[in-house]
């Protein structure tokens, strides 16, 4: 009976495949696409809300490469106080279980630190968040994080926070900032991810 309940939920989870991702970013891998996910990830989908959970293949390309790819589609990237290493950093590609909204993580504790993610989850870093936002936009035609900011830690400076969202004023602009925790706004949220 338990497996049947999970299956119902999994049928509702949106999947953005490796082939979808490669088409969006113009990236081609030599390996065959694997679409098998460990069954245990289904247990991480709790209190299901429509369009809140995704399984997304992330290419791992840098923010710099993402900005180049999106410039051909008319998108502008606005960087504020991001260092070169952050913009050029790449990650390992792979599939992730993604929860796109965790408003309860949009708070900063008295110690000016971000609240920790649920066990087994972590906040998407800036590179991952950017790719997730564009993948969902191009596959589902859904623009997430236009009003709210996705926030994540700046591991090099604990008094600062990294944040990203689509611009409200320019529909083809994405804004990334590295700002002081003293300047945080109220419209904060967080994309959380688990590697599958």
Could you state, in order of their start, the residue ranges of all structural domains in the chain? 2-195
Token pair of 44, please? 């991480």
From the list 116, 115, 93, the residue with the least C-alpha distance to 30 is: 93
pTM of the entire predicted model: 0.89
Q: What is the pLDDT of residue 70?
A: 97
Output the tens digit of pLDDT for each of the chain's 196 residues. Answer: 344 344 555 667 888 989 999 999 998 766 655 555 666 666 677 666 667 899 999 999 999 999 999 999 999 999 988 989 999 999 999 999 999 999 888 776 555 578 889 889 999 999 999 999 999 999 999 999 999 999 999 888 888 889 999 999 999 999 999 988 877 788 899 999 999 8
Burial of 161 (0-12, 13-18, 19+ CB in 10 A): buried
Nearest alpha-carbon partner for 97 in 20, 142, 44, 138: 44
Phi, psi (rounded to 5 degrees) for 37: -115, 140
Q: DSSP E strands: which ranges in 22-135?
A: 53-58, 76-80, 94-99, 122-123
Report the alpha-carbon angle 125-12-47, nearest 5: 70
């Amino acid at each position: 009976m338990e497996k049947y309940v999970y299956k119902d939920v999994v049928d509702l989870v949106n999947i953005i495949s490796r082939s979808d991702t490669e088409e969006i970013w113009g990236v081609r891998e030599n390996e065959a696409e694997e679409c098998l996910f460990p069954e245990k990830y289904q247990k991480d989908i709790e209190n299901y809300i429509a369009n809140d959970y995704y399984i997304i293949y992330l290419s791992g390309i840098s923010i710099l490469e993402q900005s180049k790819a999106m410039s051909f589609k008319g998108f502008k990237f606005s960087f504020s106080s991001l260092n070169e290493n952050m913009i050029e950093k790449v990650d390992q590609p792979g599939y992730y279980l993604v929860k796109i909204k965790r408003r309860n993580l949009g708070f900063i504790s008295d110690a000016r630190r971000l609240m920790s993610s649920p066990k087994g989850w972590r906040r998407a870093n800036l590179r991952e968040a950017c790719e997730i936002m564009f993948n969902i936009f191009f596959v589902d035609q859904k623009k997430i994080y236009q009003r709210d900011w996705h926030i994540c830690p700046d591991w090099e400076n604990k008094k600062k926070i990294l944040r990203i969202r689509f611009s409200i004023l320019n529909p083809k602009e994405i804004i990334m900032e590295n700002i002081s925790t003293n300047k945080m706004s109220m419209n904060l949220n967080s994309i959380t991810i688990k590697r599958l």
